Amino acid sequence: MSIQVSPANLEFSKPVSSAAQARAAYLTKLLHLAQSTVAETSELQALRDHAALRVQEQTFPSTRDEEWRFTDLSDLLAVELAAAERSAVTPDAIARFVLPDTARLVFVNGFYAPELSDLGTFPARLTVGNLSSASDQQLQTYLGQQSGAEEVFTALNTAGLSDAGFVFAAKNLVVDRPIHLLFVSTASQPVLIQPRCLVVAEPNSSLTVIEDHISLGESVYFTNSVAEIWLADNAQITHTRIQRDSQSAFHIGKTAVSQARSSRYTCTAVSFGARLSRHNLNIYQTGEQTETALNGLTVLKGEQVGDTHSSIALSKPYGTSRQVHKCIIDDRAHGIFNGKVFVPKAAQLTDAGQLNRTLLLSPKARVDTKPQLEIVADNVKCTHGATVGQLETDELFYLQSRGIDASSARKLLVYAFAYEILSQIPLESLRQSLTSQL
């Protein structure tokens, strides 16, 4: 493709910087890596080709992009990545991540691992498996069809899409047993890993899903994950998303949720891992009277960077959203929170609340937080708040005055801060293992 530049614009145009060139080359490389893992022929080819075009039309983000202002991906550019490979993982290796009383779907480096999965017995009208368990019609209706699919990293994932976790609850089906989607990363060299899942709840159905990104080592890799979640009328999904990637990894994750009338979606997202992580959480309320609850906890230390960009689009009357996002930041780590809420004219009598609370544990710890409310409708209730604080001397003193040493008192107070979010995790064993990581 050649670029036409009119003489009038010429004097303003600068030569493409070498940094921009490096980003473009890197994106091309990523796209090739993504495509290289794809199985030869497949009915998904058209979807992939379309997504590849979307990738090619875009640029790899830099801190000049408003959406990436505080999240600098240049360290990733320095990582020479290879394509992800299947890897043999023993049940012992993942034993400590296994959650009791759940159905488990395991993917290793993005590849389905049926030998590690344990689906148990399920009602017939529930489908849990990989994409081979989905019908063509289900794939056509839902896979890659969420708004925001053209966003560069989402499109990159789709361009290399050959398999995904798949959960489908048919109409009126209430599933109590949580479904654990365990995405395992294990890499002996830096690789691009692209986990994916598709979760669909048909009218009046109910699901509990735990999306869990873990690592078996402290290696360098780049996880670029996508979760697409669909709630039909009056459906309910309780979604727990845990990001505990390697401390040397890069993690960019998309959660795109579409909510039809009277549906209820809860997301509890807990992020501990990765040297740099970004969670893009996009909620699309498409029907009246939908309810969204977002709980977030990001725990950072060392030089970690942890970014959450959420957006909630209320579009119809009587929608509600409740968001509490907390960050605990130690050492020289850097937290970023950007919370968008859109309330267009049609979304009358809606109620949106957002709260971001940050606990800074060291003088060098940093947070950048930005609520972004775009409200056009006039008869609505929208609140937001952001607080940044440190451990209170008075609180520490109270504990110490009961004989608890300073370091235990600190831990207890950090735990108390996180508790509001951690307590939302529906599984006791998972709650405990995350608490012990604090």
**Residues in a beta bridge with 250:** 222, 276
> Beta-carbon neighbour count of residue 61 at 10 Å?
20
Taking CB under 8 A as the criterion, the residue among 408, 429, 432, 437 binding other proteins is 408
User: Residue 414 CB, nearest distance to other proteins (Å)?
Assistant: 10
Taking CB under 8 A as the criterion, the residue among 197, 413, 425, 434 binding other proteins is 413
3-state secondary structure of 432: helix
Describe the strand order of the beta sheet including 111-112 as a list of residue ranges.
111-112, 103-108, 179-185, 206-215, 236-244, 264-271, 291-300, 320-329, 351-360, 381-389
- Cα–Cα distances in angstroms (integers) from residue 206 to residues 84, 231, 296, 314, 341, in the given order: 34, 9, 22, 22, 26
Please name the residues in contact with 365: beta carbons below 8 A apart, sequence gap of 6 or more.
300, 329, 330, 331, 332, 333, 334, 335
The residue type at 162: S
Taking CB under 8 A as the criterion, the residue among 217, 410, 419, 433 binding other proteins is 419
When asked if residue 181 is in the footprint of other proteins (CB under 8 A), the reply is no
When asked if residue 420 is in the footprint of other proteins (CB under 8 A), the reply is yes
**Residues in a beta bridge with 291:** 264, 320
Q: If DSSP states are collapsed to H, E and C, what string results for 374-398? A: EECCCCCEEEEEEEEECCCHHHHHH
User: Residue 425 CB, nearest distance to other proteins (Å)?
Assistant: 13
Near other proteins in 38-67, by CB under 8 A: none
User: Residue 408 CB, nearest distance to other proteins (Å)?
Assistant: 8
End-to-end CA distance of the chain, in Å?
Answer: 51
User: Residue 302 CB, nearest distance to other proteins (Å)?
Assistant: 25
Taking CB under 8 A as the criterion, the residue among 5, 302, 416, 429 binding other proteins is 416
3-state secondary structure of 269: strand
Cβ proximity to other proteins: between 150 and 395 the closer is 395
Stretch that binds other proteins, among 95-103, 136-144, 169-177, 418-426 (CB under 8 A): 418-426
When asked if residue 415 is in the footprint of other proteins (CB under 8 A), the reply is yes
Near other proteins in 366-405, by CB under 8 A: 393-395, 397-405
Cβ proximity to other proteins: between 45 and 400 the closer is 400
When asked if residue 68 is in the footprint of other proteins (CB under 8 A), the reply is no
Helix (H) or strand (E) holding 112: strand 111-112
Cβ proximity to other proteins: between 89 and 396 the closer is 396
User: Residue 281 CB, nearest distance to other proteins (Å)?
Assistant: 24
Cβ proximity to other proteins: between 418 and 430 the closer is 418
Contact 202, 175 (CB under 8 A): no
User: Residue 428 CB, nearest distance to other proteins (Å)?
Assistant: 14
Cβ proximity to other proteins: between 53 and 416 the closer is 416
Label residues 202-238 b or e (16+ Cβ within 10 Å = b): bbbbbbbbbbbbbbbeebbbbbbbbbbbbbbbbbbbb
Contact 161, 47 (CB under 8 A): yes
Binding residues for other proteins, how many (CB under 8 A)?
Answer: 24
Please state, in angstroms and rounded to a whole number, the distance separating the CA atoms of residues 113 and 130: 9
Q: How many CA atoms lie within 13 A of 324 on its CB side?
A: 11
When asked if residue 436 is in the footprint of other proteins (CB under 8 A), the reply is no
Cβ proximity to other proteins: between 116 and 297 the closer is 297
- Cα–Cα distances in angstroms (integers) from residue 357 to residues 43, 333, 342, 387, in the given order: 45, 16, 21, 5
Cβ proximity to other proteins: between 269 and 399 the closer is 399
Cβ proximity to other proteins: between 162 and 298 the closer is 298
Cβ proximity to other proteins: between 331 and 420 the closer is 420
DSSP per-residue string spanning 290-306? -EEEEEEEEEE-TT-EE
Cβ proximity to other proteins: between 383 and 423 the closer is 423
When asked if residue 137 is in the footprint of other proteins (CB under 8 A), the reply is no
Q: Interface with other proteins by CB under 8 A: which residues?
A: 393-395, 397-406, 408-409, 412-413, 415-416, 418-420, 422-423
